[in-house]
Structure 1
Amino acid sequence: MTLTAPAVARPREAEPELPFAALILDFVGVLTADAGAALRAWCLAQDLDAEAWRRTLNHDPEASRLYTELEAGQLSQAEWNRRVAPILGVPEHKNLMGRAWAGVRPAADMIALARSARRAGLKVALLSNSFGLDPYDPYEALGVWELFDVAVISEREGIAKPDPAIYRLTLDRLGLPGEACLFVDDHPRNLPPAEALGITTVLADGQPGTAAHIASLLGVPAAP
């Protein structure tokens, strides 16, 4: 009788260690497709100049002040609608934000990236300067709430980017140091406060391949 040696189990190869433990994402311009194009189309449909929305919110002193209050949770979205509609030149204020944002679509590649990161074991956080949640909830409308382990929304916290406090709050909620996190935002001014806390940053500049680049930095599979 021939005896054979028992098979020796090979040690299982260790999973490669990922360079980051968390991905922190902005909302507008990161998880949304080109919101500017949709808002320009809405303006034209209202017989406004195509740039009326951007110009009013950014350059009209009263509208800019009201938007800052909206971001910080000092003004409800419904009240913002009521007060900004006449400045914008729109006769109907009801659900103004929701009507203007109705054509904005999610960024499929970045949403796929967030899901890929979670499957790989990373925490995913939302860090967003909000523009109200009622009557129009943009995160619900674009179906992104389920992507996050942690959601830090300026309206709820009473502080907004680029205030360093909201970045520290995000790290506290994640339970991680800045060096363990990668943050993506479409506004250059929002990156330095994150970098000061040791967070690696990526500017979402709308160029093709951004999601694949971030995936490579995270060490997770790129979205199909």
Structure 2
Amino acid sequence: MVAGVLIDWGGVLTTSLSDSIARWIVADRIDHAHYHAVMSELVRQAYDGAAEGSQETVVHALERGELDGSAFERDLAARLLTLDGVPPEAEGLLERMFAGFERVEAMHDMLRAVRGHGVRTCLLSNSWSNAYPRDGWDELFDAVVISGEVGMRKPEPRIFRHALDLLALPGESCVFIDDFEANIAAARALGIHGIHHRDAETTIAQLESLLQIPLRPA
């Protein structure tokens, strides 16, 4: 029986990261092809290979809170180019990248319904030194785990174990919802059920099937 839901923030409880990035690329006149090449390599280095013990990168450090946002902004800006062939403005870069995030109300309503049925919930999010809109979180979460605040990051097994400890539940009694396959694989390796989020309707239907409870208005 599933008694706990672990869930990501950006791209799951919000609109997709790719949509937000697309808006920022246009607004800041970023060279899209160059950005894609740079970011693909950073993400590959951060998520490929063993979850623990792999080569450390600036993304590892940022997500664990070992590198502050302004330092990462300077590093990333130096790697990127605008359409004018110069680096973008570093200050405020991360805020501009994530400015396009919008709440997905159906997913927030789903979490309220989950808790209404007595299922415990935990936010489990990798942070990029970004602020979170925390109003109403008491209605949504029994526990909150943000990577930069706990010094751990997905897909490290220890951050999942930390979240499970906060919920006082074993892995096999929980489901993890995330939009990134590497994180889902790490959770499943610990016995946690995984739902790879692509859109609200599909995710909610899959969670209803797993929990055997209705999560949408009749």
The farther-off stretch of 143-152 and 185-194 is: 143-152
> How many residues in Structure 1 have an aligned counterpart in Structure 2?
200
Choose which of 172, 183, 206 in structure 2 pairs with 1:179: 172
TM normalised by structure 1 equals 0.79
1:74-113 deviation line (CA, Å, top 9, x unaligned): 1011221233223223442222111121111122222111
1:59 aligns with 2:41: yes
Tell me which structure has the larger Cα radius of gyration.
1
**Contact 1:113 1:215 survives alignment (8 Å):** no
Other-structure match for 1:8: none
Q: Secondary structure at the match of 1:58?
A: helix
> Hey, what does 1:203 align to over in structure 2?
196
Could you tell me which runs of 5 or more consecutive residues in structure 2 were left unpaired when the two chains were aligned. 47-56, 82-86
Given that 1:40 and 1:51 are in contact with CA atoms closer than 8 Å, whether structure 2 keeps it comes out as: no
How is 1:4-153 mapped onto 2 (pairs within 5 angstroms)?
19-50=1-32, 53-59=35-41, 65-89=57-81, 90-132=87-129, 136-137=130-131, 139-140=132-133, 145-146=137-138, 147-153=140-146
Q: Quote the residue 1:5 is aligned against.
A: none
TM-score, structure 2 length as denominator?
0.80
**Structure 1 residue 51: Cα displacement:** 5.2
Cα deviations by residue, 1:172-223 (Å, 9 ceiling, x for unpaired): 1111111211111122222233223321111113374222221232233223
RMSD: 2.4
Structure 1: which 5+ runs fail to align?
1-18
Shift of 1:53: 4.5
Measured after TM superposition, the shift of residue 114 of structure 1 is 0.9
Does the residue aligned with 2:95 lie in a helix, a strand or coil? helix
Describe the shift of the 1:169–1:220 C-alpha distance in structure 2 as closer, same or farther (beyond 3 A): same
Which amino acid in 2 is paired with 1:35? L
> CA 1:172 to 1:77, structure 2 compared with 1: closer, same or farther past 3 Å?
same
Q: Which structure 2 residues correspond to residues 156-167 of structure 1 after superposition, within 5 A?
A: 156-167=149-160
Relative to structure 1, the CA distance from residue 54 to residue 158 in structure 2 (aligned partners, 3 Å threshold; closer, same or farther) is farther
- In structure 2, the CA distance between the partners of 1:86 and 1:38, relative to structure 1 (3 Å rule), is same
**Mapped contact 1:26–1:185 kept (Cα < 8 A):** yes
Partner amino acid for 1:190? N
User: 1:22–1:124: 8 Å Cα contact kept in structure 2?
Assistant: yes
> How far 1:60 sits from its partner (Å)?
5.4
Answer yes or no: is the 8 Å Cα contact 2:64–2:150 preserved in 1: yes
